[in-house]
Chain A
Amino acid sequence: MAVKKFITGNFEEEAVLFPAVKKARRSGYKIHDVFTPFPIHGLDHAMGLRDTSLHTAGFIYGITGTSTALGFITWALTIDWQLNFGGKPFFSLPAWIPIMFELTVLFAAVGMVLTFCYLCQLAPFVKKDHFNPRSTDDTFVMVLECTDKTNEAETLAFLQGLGAKDVQVQHKETGWWLGRYDKDTMRFQKKAEVAAH
């Protein structure tokens, strides 16, 4: 995790944002991210992000749940402690379907949410740097990362040319840390970075 230098621009219309994203990519800029207040269909593809595999993970969790239920009940009722319930066979599959189904759903749902939180680094008390608080309100914030080769002035002008407003240079921590939003907390390497600057 490190503090890096970024150039940000705000967009207010999807119709302006899309061509801008495409153009920025084509011109070789490194798009760090685009922050939006709601999901915009197709933006991930426009940015060249690959599809998420969250579904596959969910499928695997689900199968795990099914086999856990089936395996455990089979073991408990046919091997560990056989009991005669209403003259039914010990291996009474129809009666186990409900629990097998419930555990499938439970494992899949819990597993996927945890995976989602892990992948997106979401948890209580997690704090991250924000580029613009309005990105959870009404503004799409495009963030370009500055590399060694980036010409700041040129990039600022480029973003402006794409229709971005309020174009600025920002130094931000890219990772997360434990902290509270009502207090300014120390970021990992902020101090060192600022000093070196």
Chain B
Amino acid sequence: MSIREQFVATKKYNGIALALMTLGALAIAGLYVTQGSKADEHQQARFWAALLHNSVYFLLVVNAAMFFICATTLAWGGWQMAFRRVPEAISAVVPVIGTIAGVILLVICFGNNHELYHWTDPVKAKTDAAFIWKAGFLNKNFFAGWTVFTIVAWSVLGWKMRQLSRKLDEKPLESNEAAKKYVWNNTVWAAMFIIIFSLTVMSSIPWLWLMSIDAHWFSTMYSWYTFASSFVAGVALITLYVVYLKNNDYLEYTNEEHLHDLGKFMFAFSIFWTYLWFSQFMLIWYSNQPEETIYFIKRVGNTAKDSPYAGIFWLMFIINFLAPLLILMRRSSKRNYSTITFMALLILFGHWLDFYQMIFPGPSPDHVPMILYDFGVALFFVGLIMFVTGKALGRAPLLAKNHPFVKESLIHHT
């Protein structure tokens, strides 16, 4: 039996991707004209916040695909081999969105608008006691240096992992010994990625990029929370691509058993995300210290006046917790293409909202800005991910057929 190894992006697929990017570009332009170009600092900040929100969110989501690969590699997982090329292709977007996000972050950091990152304001940096205290971390040079290093490191290590995987396509492993060596080699590089990942995504990067928007506020949980949010969205994106490829008669060896496990990941990490959210919220609510509660008052406070973001928050909470809990609990729904697609879309959207409510109460504390523009900006990144992932999928066979664990994946049972 021959299999369809080579993905060819259809005209329609690329057309949609390009159309989305065009729409998104128009939205960005529109947002710039109506907000970004205005003299009012708040309006400018609103424009940059939209770019920051979308670029960082989607960057973390596509990077989560590489985290998925490295984590399963370290755990010697075999089940994911049948569709491993999918997260590989998604992770190929990291350098692209990484560049965009890097530029946006640097512009915000070094630009003249300080509404997003108050600590970049040269006057405040010299007068605000907290900013003086924090200057060792919250300073422009460190921000720029660490941001560039991080994005380069993710891109390079991700590239290395993909190279290792492709290397086998041409040259099968000759012996058991060679296979063991190959697996070991993979493990080493995956471990390097995970180390960099834990020093960036799971600690410093969310502090710098996101938490410093509320520069006086602090929470040790913040980065782990951000990680959980982006990881579950990353798994949802992988799932979407698996379903898409299956529907187009690719990935013959991937079946509902694999889908079931992806569904389990979405289910489990949705609950994990909720757990982290609850732990952070409950501890701050319980001890009730003003320097901490200020963060949640804007987001989940009691009155509409104090917390304009409560509506978005509760919507996101329902999408990200209740829906996966109730819908994905059943075995049959994890194995159903339509349900799982619906849930993956919902989760991607829900965590997009999560990032939205993490970022926007900073630059716009009193009211929720017109969110339609942000949808538009999101379309640009969605189109970009589609386009680049499509290209990356076409570049290599869809099955890493010479990997030592691939046969285990073929007979995988949940």
A97: nearest chain-B partner, CB-CB: B278
Within 8 Å CB of B342, what residues of A?
A: none
Cross-chain contact of A94 among B281, B329, B413 (Cβ < 8 A): B281
Question: Are B282 and A94 neighbours in the complex by a CB distance under 8 Å?
Answer: yes
Question: Are A95 and B282 neighbours in the complex by a CB distance under 8 Å?
Answer: yes
B32 to A: closest C-beta gap in Å: 41
B260 to A: closest C-beta gap in Å: 15
Interface residues of B in 260-305 (CB under 8 A from A): 278, 281-282, 285-286, 288
Q: Give complex CA distance A59, B325 in Å.
A: 12
Interface of A, secondary structure class, is helix
Range class of the B interface residue count? under 10
Between A59, A94, A95, the greatest number of chain B beta carbons within 10 A of the residue's beta carbon is seen for A94
Q: Give complex CA distance A59, B329 in Å.
A: 10
B327-341 CB mask vs A (1 if < 8 Å, else 0) is 001000000000000
B407 to A: closest C-beta gap in Å: 18
Q: Give complex CA distance A87, B293 in Å.
A: 15
Question: Are A95 and B286 neighbours in the complex by a CB distance under 8 Å?
Answer: yes
Within 8 Å CB of A59, what residues of B?
A: 329
B275: nearest chain-A partner, CB-CB: A101
Interface residues of A in 92-137 (CB under 8 A from B): 94-95, 97
Q: Give complex CA distance A97, B288 in Å.
A: 18
Question: Are B413 and A41 neighbours in the complex by a CB distance under 8 Å?
Answer: yes
Question: Are A97 and B282 neighbours in the complex by a CB distance under 8 Å?
Answer: yes
A68-85 CB mask vs B (1 if < 8 Å, else 0) is 000000000000000000
B285: nearest chain-A partner, CB-CB: A94
A89: nearest chain-B partner, CB-CB: B302
Within 8 Å CB of B281, what residues of A?
A: 94
Asked if A28 is at the interface (CB within 8 A of a chain B CB), the reply is no
A14 to B: closest C-beta gap in Å: 15
A90 to B: closest C-beta gap in Å: 15
Asked if A39 is at the interface (CB within 8 A of a chain B CB), the reply is no
Q: Give complex CA distance A61, B87 in Å.
A: 38
Asked if A161 is at the interface (CB within 8 A of a chain B CB), the reply is no
Q: Give complex CA distance A95, B278 in Å.
A: 10
A42: nearest chain-B partner, CB-CB: B413
A98: nearest chain-B partner, CB-CB: B282
A36-79 CB mask vs B (1 if < 8 Å, else 0) is 00000100000000000000000100000000000000000000
Cross-chain contact of A86 among B278, B288, B329 (Cβ < 8 A): B288
Interface residues of B in 307-327 (CB under 8 A from A): none
B286 to A: closest C-beta gap in Å: 7
B330: nearest chain-A partner, CB-CB: A55
Interface residues of A in 17-36 (CB under 8 A from B): none
B329: nearest chain-A partner, CB-CB: A59
Q: Give complex CA distance A31, B286 in Å.
A: 61
A86: nearest chain-B partner, CB-CB: B288
Within 8 Å CB of B288, what residues of A?
A: 86-87
B353-395 CB mask vs A (1 if < 8 Å, else 0) is 0000000000000000000000000000000000000000000
A60 to B: closest C-beta gap in Å: 13
Q: Give complex CA distance A14, B285 in Å.
A: 58
B292 to A: closest C-beta gap in Å: 14
Q: Give complex CA distance A87, B287 in Å.
A: 11
Q: Give complex CA distance A41, B413 in Å.
A: 10
B331: nearest chain-A partner, CB-CB: A55
Q: Give complex CA distance A148, B282 in Å.
A: 68
A87: nearest chain-B partner, CB-CB: B288
Within 8 Å CB of A87, what residues of B?
A: 288
Q: Give complex CA distance A86, B289 in Å.
A: 12
Q: Give complex CA distance A97, B285 in Å.
A: 13
Q: Give complex CA distance A86, B287 in Å.
A: 9
B398-414 CB mask vs A (1 if < 8 Å, else 0) is 00000000000000010
A145-187 CB mask vs B (1 if < 8 Å, else 0) is 0000000000000000000000000000000000000000000
Within 8 Å CB of B285, what residues of A?
A: 94
Within 8 Å CB of B413, what residues of A?
A: 41
Q: Give complex CA distance A51, B376 in Å.
A: 47
Within 8 Å CB of A41, what residues of B?
A: 413
B117 to A: closest C-beta gap in Å: 31
Within 8 Å CB of B286, what residues of A?
A: 94-95
B120 to A: closest C-beta gap in Å: 35
Within 8 Å CB of B282, what residues of A?
A: 94-95, 97
Interface residues of B in 63-95 (CB under 8 A from A): none
Within 8 Å CB of B278, what residues of A?
A: 94, 97
Within 8 Å CB of A94, what residues of B?
A: 278, 281-282, 285-286
Give the 4 A-B CB pairs with smallest separation, nearest first: A94-B282, A94-B285, A97-B278, A95-B286
Listed by A's residue number, 13 A-B pairs whose Cβ atoms lie within 8 Å are A41-B413, A59-B329, A86-B288, A87-B288, A94-B278, A94-B281, A94-B282, A94-B285, A94-B286, A95-B282, A95-B286, A97-B278, A97-B282
Please give the residue numbers on chain B whose beta carbons come within 8 Å of chain A beta carbons, in ascending order: 278, 281-282, 285-286, 288, 329, 413
Known pairs A41-B413, A94-B281, A97-B278. 10 more at Cβ < 8 A?
A59-B329, A86-B288, A87-B288, A94-B278, A94-B282, A94-B285, A94-B286, A95-B282, A95-B286, A97-B282
